[in-house]
Amino acid sequence: MALNLDSIGKKLGPVSKDYNWKDVVLYALGVGAGFSDLDYCYEKNLKVIPTFSIAAIFDFLSHYAANANINLAGILHGEQDLIFHQPIPVEGTLTTKGQITRIYDKGEKRGALVVGESDTWHSNGKKLFTSVMTLFSRFDGGFGGENAPKEIFEFPDRKPDFEIEESPSLDQPLLYRLSGDVFALHVDSEFAEMAGFEKPIMHGLCTYGYSCRALMNSLTPGEPEKVRRLKCRFSRPLYPGDPIKIQIWKTDDHKAVWKTINSKTGEEVITNGIFEFGDIPKKEIRFDDQVAVITGAGGGLGKVYALELAKRGAKVVVNDLGGSRDGSGGGSSTPAEKVVDEINALGGEAIANYDNVATAEGGENIIKSAVDAFGKVDILINNAGILRDKSFIKMEPENWKAVLDVHLNGAYHVSRPAFKVMRENGFGRIVMTTSAAGLYGNFGQTNYSSAKMGLVGLMNTLKLEGKKYNIKVNTVAPIAASRLTEDVLPPELFDKMKPEFVSPLVLFLCSKECEETGNVYNAGMGFFNRAAVVTGTGTTIGDGENPPDIEDIIDNFDTIASLKNGKVYFELNEQVGDAMNAFNAPAPAEGAADDAKKLSSVAAIFDAMPEAFNADAAKDTDVVFQYKITGPGGGDWYCIIKDGTCEINTGITEKPTCTLIMADSDFVDMINGVLPAMQAYTSGKLKIEGDIMKSQLIEKLFKLK
Ligand code: NAI
């Protein structure tokens, strides 16, 4: 039976496998973990030994073997390389896809090598690991194929930095095989003899797991998530009961080489080992081959956006009129030129443009200069700005108009020709620059506030018109030290308010990775949040046939004005639809809408806590609960209960009675009764620090459900 060389490149899988904490613990026991490294063996705060991954997808090996038509009597695991992209969760479903990438011929009677490569995803959507597995097919060599390239591998010429001794038991394979590799070679004496061994041998991957534990204990103690790669060659069989020694040489801050030796015979059973470790590298957001136009980029925020985009590969048009802070007088080419020089000095690509955004002609020219120089426009940041602050009575038409011309009309003038180019290319990212003055109001800035809020309106509709062309339009409300704010902000805050604290969010909004559109974000001093127009649930008044009286409006005003359970509409139709259907919609039972919504987020739960507080149950109680809720919907809250009163605050308090730590979704589940508190605690989903007994009061003190 010959190897099937046509199997190379054929897609294999997907193959899915469910697993839970018991599988994780069984594996850990199979590779020698126990009370000495309980984190891997106890469901409370369970951690996963990274090499569990290869045991969990072991069945995939049979796809390689069957497709390549390997003679199973002669199959051995030759090499294994695991590259970890994300830590392995303690439960879930793994889905693996792969292919045979190469088949090598070592020669007649010397065997063949079949190399299979696979990627495995978790049911949380993340790619967890890549496996490169080399199967040594002892009886399939000599078909006239190419031999594998020689690998040059050298261990340092010094004593190992770590040497860990282990003693797998005589029965180790019986335990390890329960994790997936039930091959008879590791359990059946007759089969082992037939395959040329004295008796059943250890699974190579079991020794690999022992080695992984030794490497972690030496180099990433308690942090399995820091294991990035584990590669090795299985060089000799190991019999159960033979002691082993894992020798480790740390070669740099993130890498070690290693081998595993049979301590009885001195033979290397695993060699050419590579262990890489460290934090998961962040995926770098790049703008290579993208063209960005930034208006008002000669200084302040715009300059930082231009530099950061250029550093990440974008070709940049640095527009700046170079005028005064209030836009009066002439312009200057110097600010834009200086920024271009800086970009060039960093090895980036940029051109300067000095057009005035306040005219339609200026807007056209800015975009034309981008297209002439770089062929297209992918990104536009409408950033140019001036200020002419005056209280409303003193706000003469020329000051009103000048500010609207630069901010609102300016964005119109530049966005329109840019949008045309983006639409033709089927891609675009536009960022408008609003201000807290527009979103919330600021004394003396009626002109500026109006212009800035006008930009939000422009975004709201442009996002709809750009939707089918992959043009995303978002808005930032920055807070940063610049010449616009130098006389408004206290000087001691200037350093904390560097534009560099704003630019990461703006760059994200400009990136291909950004799928958001139509949103407004505040950004400054390292703090970011979203601002939105929230619409209350409202009420119908009267019968919908006859207009209500003013008195009816007054009677219902609290409900009309309430933003409780409010929502954010994406477009006009949604709001009009709600208004049109208001009389047809079944009237919600009193409080039903509140109840349904109230507990669907962590923030809503804390909002609801004062109402759910049972003052009677708290009469003689004096406790402070700190909540640390992790995840995107989480945050820190603390709750002070004293003399029958309850106070809920955000943030961290100094001396809590106990601290409850939990993931956001688990917390919502627990409060809603989906996850029983005891189970949350015993499963490690809820961690409690401090006085655990006092934490049990919570259920009595709050009746949230
Ligand atoms: P900045 O004054 O340093 O930058 C604005 C730039 O726009 C200047 O370089 C100016 O020469 C240029 N410019 C003005 N009129 C122009 C025109 N007609 N055509 C072309 N370029 C023109 O100020 P900063 O703070 O960097 O402001 C950038 C944007 O951020 C502005 O839109 C501003 O309103 C907005 N903003 C800034 C805040 C902050 O805290 N710095 C707060 C809220 C909004």
Q: Per mean pLDDT, which range of 254-258, 538-542, 613-617 is the poorest?
A: 613-617
pLDDT of amino acid 80: 97
Mutate which of 328, 383, 389 for ligand 1? The one with the most ligand atoms within 8 Å of its CB, which is: 383
Asked whether the predicted pLDDT for residue 596 surpasses 70, the reply is: no
Bridge pairing between strands 520-524 and 471-478: parallel
pLDDT band at residue 616 under the 50/70/90 scheme: confident
Q: How far is the CA of 318 from the centre of ligand 1 (A)?
A: 13
Give the residue, by CA position, lying nearest to ligand 1 atom 10: 296
Both 173 and 273 in one domain: the answer is yes
Q: Per mean pLDDT, which range of 45-54, 233-242, 374-383, 646-655 is the poorest?
A: 646-655
Alpha-carbon gap, residue 475 to 506, rounded angstroms:
9
Both 476 and 549 in one domain: the answer is no
Give the residue, by CA position, lying nearest to ligand 1 atom 41: 480
* Residue 12: Cβ within 10 Å count: 19
pLDDT of amino acid 586: 55
Q: How far is the CA of 383 from the centre of ligand 1 (A)?
A: 6
- Which tens digit of pLDDT belongs to each residue from 546-569? 999 999 999 999 999 999 989 999
Residue 620 lies inside a defined structural domain of this protein = yes
Residue 151 lies inside a defined structural domain of this protein = no
pLDDT band at residue 79 under the 50/70/90 scheme: very high
Q: 570 phi and psi, to 5 degrees?
A: -90, -30
Q: Report the nearest atom of ligand 1 relative to the CA of 481.
A: 41
pLDDT of amino acid 258: 98
Asked whether the predicted pLDDT for residue 634 surpasses 70, the reply is: yes
**CA-atom Rg of the chain in angstroms:** 33
Give the residue, by CA position, lying nearest to ligand 1 atom 3: 300
Query: Which two three-digit tokens encode residue 642?
Result: 């004293």
At residue 149, the 3 state secondary structure works out as: coil
673: left (phi over 0), alpha (psi -120 to 50) or beta: left
Bridge pairing between strands 268-277 and 227-234: antiparallel
Whether the bond between 173 and the residue before it is cis, its omega within 30 degrees of 0, is: no
Residue 209: closest CA among 24, 20, 15, 22: 24
Q: Report the nearest atom of ligand 1 relative to the CA of 302.
A: 26
Both 248 and 341 in one domain: the answer is no
Residue 578 lies inside a defined structural domain of this protein = no
Both 559 and 461 in one domain: the answer is no
Residue 573 lies inside a defined structural domain of this protein = no
Query: Which two three-digit tokens encode residue 452?
Result: 């800035």
Q: 676 phi and psi, to 5 degrees?
A: -60, 140
What is the average pLDDT across 515-530?
96
- Which tens digit of pLDDT belongs to each residue from 346-357? 999 999 999 999
Q: Report the nearest atom of ligand 1 relative to the CA of 325.
A: 2
Both 12 and 109 in one domain: the answer is yes
Number of domains in the chain: 4
pLDDT of amino acid 350: 98
pLDDT of amino acid 679: 63
Both 405 and 433 in one domain: the answer is yes
- Which tens digit of pLDDT belongs to each residue from 95-152? 999 999 999 999 998 999 999 999 999 988 889 999 999 999 988 999 999 999 888 9
* Average pLDDT along the chain: 92
pLDDT of amino acid 175: 97
pLDDT of amino acid 196: 87
Q: How far is the CA of 433 from the centre of ligand 1 (A)?
A: 9
- Which tens digit of pLDDT belongs to each residue from 285-305? 999 999 999 999 999 999 999
Both 339 and 473 in one domain: the answer is yes
Alpha helices in 203-356 (DSSP H): 204-219, 300-311, 334-345
pLDDT of amino acid 593: 45
Alpha-carbon gap, residue 453 to 28, rounded angstroms:
59
Residue numbers of the domain that contains 189: 8-143+160-277
What is the average pLDDT across 165-175?
97
CATH code, domain with 132: 3.10.129.10
Q: Which residues line ligand 1 (CB under 6 A)?
A: 295-296, 298-302, 319-323, 327, 335, 356-358, 383-386, 406, 410, 433, 435, 478-480, 482-485
pLDDT of amino acid 1: 58
Q: Report the nearest atom of ligand 1 relative to the CA of 524.
A: 40
pLDDT of amino acid 678: 64
Strands across the sheet with 622-630, in order? 645-650, 635-642, 622-630, 658-663, 686-690
pLDDT band at residue 66 under the 50/70/90 scheme: confident
What is the average pLDDT across 611-637?
87
Asked whether the predicted pLDDT for residue 75 surpasses 80, the reply is: yes
Core vs surface per residue 470-491: b (16+ CB within 10 A) or e: bbbbbbbbbbbbbebbeeebee
pLDDT band at residue 683 under the 50/70/90 scheme: low
Instruction: Give the residue, 518 or 704, on which the prediction is more confident.
Output: 518
Asked whether the predicted pLDDT for residue 398 surpasses 50, the reply is: yes
pLDDT of amino acid 329: 82
Which of 54-63, 311-320, 541-550 has the largest mean confidence? 311-320
What is the average pLDDT across 198-222?
97
Task: Enumerate the β-bridge partners of residue 627.
Answer: 637, 660
Both 501 and 648 in one domain: the answer is no
HSE-CB for 80 with a 13 A CA cutoff: 25
Residue 152 lies inside a defined structural domain of this protein = no
Both 183 and 248 in one domain: the answer is yes
Residue 150 lies inside a defined structural domain of this protein = no
Q: Cβ(641)–Cβ(622) under 8 Å?
A: yes
Instruction: State in Å, rounded, how far the first CA of the chain is from the last one.
Output: 67
What is the average pLDDT across 201-223?
97
Q: For the chain, give the percent of residues with pLDDT over 70.
A: 96
Both 354 and 268 in one domain: the answer is no
Rounded (5°) CA angle 508-513-516: 75
What is the average pLDDT across 486-501?
82
Asked whether the predicted pLDDT for residue 695 surpasses 80, the reply is: no
What is the average pLDDT across 56-75?
87
Alpha-carbon gap, residue 492 to 272, rounded angstroms:
57
Q: Per mean pLDDT, which range of 61-65, 407-411, 556-560 is the poorest?
A: 61-65
Q: How far is the CA of 377 from the centre of ligand 1 (A)?
A: 21
DSSP string, 404-469: HIIIIIHHHHHHHHHHHHHHHHT-EEEEEE--HHHHH--TTBHHHHHHHHHHHHHHHHHHHHHGGG
Q: Report the nearest atom of ligand 1 relative to the CA of 357.
A: 19
- Which tens digit of pLDDT belongs to each residue from 250-274? 999 999 999 999 999 999 999 999 9
pLDDT of amino acid 29: 98
CATH code, domain with 331: 3.40.50.720
| Single-letter amino acid code for the residue at 291 | V
Both 234 and 312 in one domain: the answer is no
Q: Per mean pLDDT, which range of 361-375, 455-469, 487-501 is the poorest?
A: 487-501
Residue 195 lies inside a defined structural domain of this protein = yes
Q: How far is the CA of 413 from the centre of ligand 1 (A)?
A: 16
Residue 507 lies inside a defined structural domain of this protein = yes
Mutate which of 317, 320, 403 for ligand 1? The one with the most ligand atoms within 8 Å of its CB, which is: 320
Mutate which of 334, 475, 484 for ligand 1? The one with the most ligand atoms within 8 Å of its CB, which is: 484
pLDDT of amino acid 632: 81
Alpha-carbon gap, residue 551 to 3, rounded angstroms:
89
At residue 639, the 3 state secondary structure works out as: strand
Both 426 and 453 in one domain: the answer is yes
Q: Which residues contact 597 (CB under 8 A, 6 or more apart)?
A: 565, 604
| Single-letter amino acid code for the residue at 440 | Y
pLDDT band at residue 665 under the 50/70/90 scheme: confident
Give the residue, by CA position, lying nearest to ligand 1 atom 29: 383
Asked whether the predicted pLDDT for residue 592 surpasses 50, the reply is: no
Q: How far is the CA of 375 from the centre of ligand 1 (A)?
A: 27
Active site residues: 448
pLDDT of amino acid 186: 92
What is the average pLDDT across 13-33?
96
Query: Which two three-digit tokens encode residue 606?
Result: 């804390």
